[in-house]
Amino acid sequence: MITQVFSKRDVDNIQKEITTIVNPTKKVRDLEKKSEFSDTFQNRVNLADAYFEIRDYASAIINYNKAIDEHTDDDAHVHKMLVESYHELEDFEKLIQHAEKIKNNNEFQKSTTQFLYGLALDKVGRSGEAEAEMCHINQRYSNYNERVILVKFLIHRGKKDEAKEVLNDIITESEHMNKSNKKLYKLAIVEANKLIKEL
């Protein structure tokens, strides 16, 4: 017989997670109180992250901006989250401003943040720059949804050979995936097979 012993802390953590799932705004309210009591950089970022989790991107942006207004150093996490928030609200100019503040950060390279930056550049008519940023997401055995978007971007720009190359890689990789990954990336794989037939 296998038994699992939970400490009081484990039980408290599990209860907090259940409460967050059942009532996601409770976490926000708790963090708002904490931030009112002690308006530190970290408390403000935690509050912004909580707003982001419940998809209240406008409130997340307000709190991320307050955090960086009061913090002298540029915080890569905050700018990354601002990029994601502005993407959700389709404010591409502001997205670009924040992405450019962390462009030289190692974590920016080959990340979803860099990919979103590329998408925003395309939306504001800077397609050449967009392609240079978006192509970094094309990493083997990862980023399948983003790579399918990249393929559509390349097709739109008339770069069918490059698009076929990415699609062939996705399809080949999908043949070596385990069941859980095939299920996870099913839509991207189906879309890749559809697109390759159309080219």
Banded pLDDT at 2 (limits 50, 70, 90): very low
Q: Which long-range contacts (CB under 8 A, 24 or more apart) does 147-153 make?
A: 147/188, 148/188, 148/191, 148/192, 148/195, 149/115, 149/119, 150/115, 151/192, 151/195, 152/195, 153/122
Among 1.10.3470, 1.25.40, 2.60.420, 2.60.120, what is the CATH number of 15-73?
1.25.40
Alpha-carbon gap, residue 137 to 146, rounded angstroms: 7
pLDDT in tens, 153-198: 999 999 999 999 999 999 999 999 999 999 999 999 999 999 999 9
Its pTM stands at 0.81
Classify residue 142 by its DSSP letter: S
- 1 pLDDT exceeds 50? no
Domain ranges in the chain are: 15-73, 90-137, 138-199
Q: CA 83, 86, 91 angle in degrees (round to 5)?
A: 125
pLDDT in tens, 53-80: 999 999 999 999 999 987 766 789 999 9
